Structure 1
């Protein structure tokens, strides 16, 4: 019977209410989780239907960039950019993929690019870079997000 009282007293003094731990608030947990997320990288890169079959993240990314670059080059191949501006062999295109699967293209020119008419090139690119296949947006934490990247596009193929 003495042993019973000993365990009862021991259990009483070591119960959870005496060693209550501080429970973090909802805001503290949210801030901790937000700090743990790498906001500079997405979980899944944008992809086209053909690239969805690949399982590796890097392969899917490479497939997307190669396919998009090829599509842009094919659309610009039929144009007169290489004739009008023979010194212009590569254009950097800023590509934005929105969460609703829309894509936007903006040519990027260096500050010292006065040798050619930027406005004319920009209008040609906007006219040509339309009607792309459906793209699946990038995914971050299970949510579609907007992504931007710059693609170097070779317009003069020799």
Structure 2
């Protein structure tokens, strides 16, 4: 009986080799995981608090863009931009939403139009100071910075 137990003990110690598998390299695993991530898309779009109750991703994105567009138009509807820059009917606005919900707006106008960039920037900063809070976009559970451009129609 002792010989059988000794034999089983020796076999069980030797069989541990069969379970020994090579562990992949940490860098290889990281590279594989980074290749799987689509860096051009976010899991959740930035949102206003009024759009948070919407569960459908497309509807939530549409709500965000509509609310953002409405807010931009209402804040920039003053005639000062139209008076200072009569040749402008539409301004492309670069919207930058940082991961900590800070929002920055940069007007983008083609170089063919002569304008005072600092004056236009100061008007934008003055008009958009009390902009409603925007929750940042989410990528893999982490808030991320997003940037995009939106047209703002000054004249109709």
Asked if Structure 1 and Structure 2 have the same fold, meaning a TM-score greater than 0.5 normalized by the shorter chain, the answer is yes
Alignment of structure 1 residues 1-150 onto 2, 5 Å: 17-18=17-18, 21-114=21-114, 116-150=115-149
**Structure 1 residue ranges without an equivalent (≥5):** 1-11
Q: TM-score, normalised by structure 1?
A: 0.82
The offset of 1:81, in angstroms, is: 1.4
Report the 3-state secondary structure (helix = DSSP H, G, I; strand = E; otherwise coil) of the residue aligned with 1:53.
coil
Distance 1:65 1:131 in 2: 18
**Structure 2 residue ranges without an equivalent (≥5):** 1-11
RMSD: 2.0
The offset of 1:85, in angstroms, is: 2.5
Q: Determine the structure 2 residue equivalent to 1:4.
A: none
The offset of 1:25, in angstroms, is: 1.9
The offset of 1:21, in angstroms, is: 4.4
Distance 1:111 1:80 in 2: 21
Report the 3-state secondary structure (helix = DSSP H, G, I; strand = E; otherwise coil) of the residue aligned with 2:152.
strand
The offset of 1:108, in angstroms, is: 0.7
The offset of 1:136, in angstroms, is: 0.7
